[in-house]
Structures are given as structure tokens and as C-alpha cells.
Chains A and B, each alone.
Chain A
């Protein structure tokens, strides 16, 4: 079960390419706007932005329906947007309003939507994979063809919970795909200082599952590699560890960052030169799938949605004091 590098073999249909593009731009615009809203004091708490990693969520989620489950990470907005999350209840949640997906109870780190198959961002690094494994167990138990996908980072790859989930998923041959978004940092610590390996996919053979590495800045590469892994899972072939090499443009948390001296501006610029959206837009034009004008229209339409969603969130009420103790328990019998 040696790891392999994913090699692109075919070009997806124009419809798929346009959807991938739209997903990525929606994430980028949501995140950039959320960052601005935090700077403006509209969003309380902590915000972990997904900017830079859009190709991963988009390429993976293109293969999933609402019946497929995902677990997300600290950096979870992008996963929810790609899974079909709407801007209005997402912004409302980040604003702490009662119209949010979690009625203002979860916020950025716990944003979720069960109807979309999104089992939550997670405030605990490595919190998601055991839950995704459990959801995959559910799918197998109920003999449906749905899969679950656990997103986690290179930092989380050192958590025992991830190893336990991966071992059990392989043992039970569960329809579960482990997507490691290796952005090179566990919080503020570079990968070289938190693990002795370069490729997290190396660990796949230890779990008894295939390991695949793909360029996480290339949405078509992610789309293809994720497609294979998800299809394998759907067909009863068991889990795959898919490592996507990617990068986060912002700091671990927030917009401006904490001014910690852990990476260079040059390194950030180098990765921005490989920006997944810019590269993909050039490709779309080259392939004749979209014109520059059409791409601009997509951006404009999304910007308009963002503006409306922010206005909606801003105008939404805060939860009432009497809602505080709601939903601690399920009172239905």
C-alpha cells in the first residue's frame, strides 16, 4: 500500500469545472469578508480563515451529496461553504445571531449543518476524525452508499484520536476518506518542527490503507484524487488517506495575526504566486470553459450575495436570554 502521487489524467466536464470555480470563489469571498467583519468588530471571538486552501474543500466536496457526511476542523467555514452552506445563516452564526445555522450557540469553531451532512467545525484539533469514522460506521451499518470525509491538518495528524480513527476505519473497511490538508503548520509551528516525516501520507501504510498525495493548490488534482478515494469508499473498498499539500495565507487565527515570527513574508508570497483560484481561472480561459467576462460575472454575483448576507446578519436579532438553556438536552422522548 505504498503512497502514490496523483497524476491528472482527464479533464472534468465544463459544468464540473464551473462548479469547482464557483465553490472556490465563494469560499474566498466569504473568508475575506469574514476577516473584514472581524476587523470591523462585527464578529466576536476567534476566526480561523481558510484562504489559500480553497482547492481542497472544493475538489473534495464536488463528489459529495448532502447525504454524505464530513467532519471539519478549526478552519471550517470553507468546508461548509463547499458543502452547500448559505452565506446568510453562516454570517449570522459568526455574528452570534439567532438566525445563524447554530442559532448563535456555536460560532466559527462549531459551525455546522446536519441537513447538508456537515458534522461541524471543531474547536479541538483532531476532534473530527473519530466522529467521521463513527458516521462511516453508521453508513455501513445501514447499508447505504454514503461516505464520510474527515478533514484534518498536518498538526492534527499527530493526535492519537486521528490514529485511532484511521486504524478503526481500515479495520472495519469503512466508507471513510481521511483528507489531510497539509498547510505546513500546526498552529504556529512548522511541520519540520512537529513531525519527522514530510508526507503525512506515509502513515497510510501503517493504518492499512492507501496513501495518496496531491497538489492541494490545484483543484483539478484534488478533484481527481478525491474522486478515486471517494469512489473506492462508496464501493466498499475502505478508506484512503489523501494528503493535499496546501498553504494558509493568513495566520493560524485572525486576520492581522499575532505578529509571531514563525514564517517569512517571502514564503507567503511564494505560495500566493501559486494561488489556486488565479491559476484555475487562467486554465478555464485556456480551456475555453469560461471567458474573463464570465469569470468576472461570477465574482460580481458572489460579491452581491456576500453584501446581502452581511446585511442580513447585521439586521438579525441576537438570541434571547431565555434561549440560553435550550438544547443542552434533547427533551423529546
Chain B
């Protein structure tokens, strides 16, 4: 942390914060390695593995075939036997290729073995729409993963959290999915040098407000924050909570906020039906029904695959305007 103190205010894009997170882990943990498609020679298609091969060598930065079952199995087998792998799953959409290794092996092995196996494996994957990558390279499938007992799922919304959560995930003794967002890769902010943790399972209040609580996931946090300015213009003070972690979910922070605001809106990029917003809404009504002055509302993608055309994709993804509209509805304005 001394380096961090030496260079206050150093700004870094999300993509390079990921790179630094992985780099810190490989420096700190001798049993850690990263394996995935195009991570070594190419430095990952997103560029976040740039320079890792040169610093850590072929044994610890491992190019794999395009074999997601094999890659995820590598993570299961290596973590159960004493390594701390970082597995890179290039697009979140590819979980379909390795869902058995994720759902039936990785998430359940410890339980099935009566607690006698430990799987400290971190999976980095890239979710989200916005680049006209169409229906198979743009999805937000975090609800699929969060539905699995044994799995942890986090969605860092900014560069600081991306680095810190990657470090925390690799120090955790459970399988952790770190769901990154491809539309955030160039977003820049102050990121400390050196190693630091962002705790898994703790939400973060991004803006204080008294009229309504907005619980947002991943990149939607930025849309929610953008909506706050617009809401101010019409006299509404919204409190934005960055959920940060989907599983475990920090219900307490959300409920405490609602005790103050009495209204809640959940925002995510995944489709609304079966999305994590349904679960959060249910938890709010179970835990804070008496504090609510209005039904819990949701802003999410419509029930459709992600479209290709920019004209359609633009209206598909929730944004500050759609959040503002739903806030008005919630407040019956």
C-alpha cells in the first residue's frame, strides 16, 4: 500500500484494474494461476491479461483450447487438489458450454463430500450488452449462477471494485464468479496500487437520498447514478445502492435504506422474468413490508434475447431515462 500512498489520485480504466487485480493475486499466491482462452500469448481479447505471461511465465498463465467444459473442469480439479486457479470464461454466455462443471461439480462438491473438499476457484467472466454483439455474446446470466447453493457471484460496477473483488474472490475458500461488464472496460477512476480487498457480500450506498431506494447491479449502477441528477431536477432524492454481490446478497443494507425511504426500485440488465430483481423484491416484502409505502418496482430488460441492431439494443438495455420513468411511477407522480 506504500506505493498507493506515493501516488494519490492515480486513475485507471476498469480493464487495467482487472489486470492489476490478477497481477496482485499471482504475485501474492504461489498456488494461483490463470487459465482460459487467449489469456497468455494474446493477453485476453479484452486486454486484461496483457503482460501476465511475461511476468509469470507459461506455468501460471495458461492458454487453453476452446473447451469450456475442460477449462471449468480444470478449475474444479485443480482447486480441489490444492491450487487456487483463476479461470477466465471469455463471455458469460459460454456458461452453457460448461454448466455441468459449474452447477453439478464446482458448486456442489464440498457439500456432496460432507465438507471435506475445498474449492478456492475464481471464475472471471464478461457479461452485458451494448456492443451489438447480439444474442450469444451479450447476456446477463447472474441469476443462473446465484441460484446455485455453494456458488458466490459478484458484479463489480467500477474499476476500484473490480480489482478489489478479484483479490477478495481469490482469497475466498469457495467458488466465486466475478461477473465483469464489457461496456465498462474503458471507465476510468482512481484505483490504488498494491493489494486491497473489497468484501464479498456487502452492498455499498453510492448516493444518499430520502425518497426512494434504487438497488442496482453491475453497470446499471452508473445508469442509476445518472438518474439521480435527473430526479433531483424534479425534487426527488434517490438513494442508490450498488448491490456489488448477488450471492450472498446484502439484504440488510437494502432494508436499512428502505426503512428510511419507504420505496424501492431494483435495476438490472438481465431480463426481468426470473431475474434477480424478483428475488430482491420478494426479500424486501418479506423483511420490510411494514415500511413500504409503494410496491417494489423493477427496471430490467424485456423478455427477449439481446438484439443485434443498435437501434433495438439501445432501447433494450435499461438506462437513466427508463429508471426515471419507473421512479415516477413508483412515486405515483
Neighbouring B residues of A114 by C-beta, 8 Å: 80, 113, 116-117
Give the CA-CA distance A92 to B202 in the complex, in Å: 40
Give B243 Cβ to nearest chain A Cβ, in Å. Answer: 19
Chain B interface category by residue count: 35 or more
Q: Cβ of B79: which chain A residues have Cβ within 8 Å of it?
A: 134
B104→A123 contact, CB < 8 A: yes
Contact between chains at B115 and A120 (CB < 8 Å): no
Q: Is B194 an interface residue (CB 8 A)?
A: no
Selected from A71, A135, A327, the residue in CB contact (under 8 A) with B78 is A135
A172's closest neighbor in chain B, by CB?
B62
Residues of A within 8 A of B70 (CB): 130, 133, 161, 164-165, 167-168
B 253-296 binary contact with A (CB < 8 Å = 1; else 0):
00000000000000000000000000000000000000000000
Q: Tell me whether A104 is interfacial, beta carbon within 8 Å.
A: yes
Partner of A119, one of B65, B67, B80, B171: B80
| A105 contacts partner chain B, Cβ-Cβ < 8 Å | yes
Complex Cα–Cα for A127 and B80 (A): 14
- List, in ascending order, chain B residues with CB within 8 A of A104's CB: 114
Contact (Cβ within 8 A) B74 A168: yes
Query: Which of B81, B82, B85 is most buried by chain A, counting CB atoms within 10 A of its CB?
Result: B81
Whether a CB of chain B sits under 8 angstroms from the CB of A233 is: no
State whether the Cβ of B209 lies closer than 8 Å to any Cβ in chain A. no
Q: Does B322 contact A (CB under 8 A)?
A: no
Chain A 123-143 interface 0/1 with B at a Cβ cutoff of 8 Å (1 = within): 110010111111111110110
Contact assessment for B65 and A105 in the assembled complex, using a CB-CB cutoff below 8 Å:
no
- Minimum CB distance partner of A117 in chain B: B81
CB within 8 A of A137: which of B68, B74, B171?
Answer: B74
CB distance from A49 to the nearest CB of B (A): 20
| Complex Cα gap A201–B160 (Å) | 51
Query: B77-97: contact bitstring with A at CB < 8 Å (1 yes, 0 no)?
Result: 111111101000000000000
| CB of A88, distance to nearest CB on chain B (Å) | 15
Contact B69 A164 (CB under 8 A): yes
- From residue B5, how far is it (CB to closest CB) to chain A in Å? 26
Which B-chain residue is minimally distant from A118 (CB atoms)?
Answer: B113
State in angstroms the CA–CA spacing of A113 and B116 once bound together: 8
User: Given the complex of chains A and B, what is the CA–CA distance between A135 and B117 in angstroms?
Assistant: 13
Chain A's closest residue to B149 (CB) is A328
The 7 nearest A-B residue pairs measured at CB: A130-B73, A134-B77, A164-B70, A327-B115, A103-B114, A102-B114, A164-B67
Chain A residues in the interface with B (C-beta under 8 A): 69, 71, 100-106, 110, 112-115, 119-120, 122-124, 127, 129-139, 141-142, 148, 160-161, 164-165, 167-168, 171-172, 326-330, 332-333
List 14 additional A-B contacts (Cβ < 8 Å) besides A120-B109, A141-B83.
A103-B114, A113-B116, A115-B116, A134-B73, A134-B74, A134-B75, A134-B81, A138-B78, A164-B67, A164-B69, A164-B70, A168-B65, A168-B67, A327-B110
5 A-B pairs whose Cβ atoms sit less than 8 Å apart in the complex: A130-B73, A130-B77, A138-B81, A165-B70, A168-B65
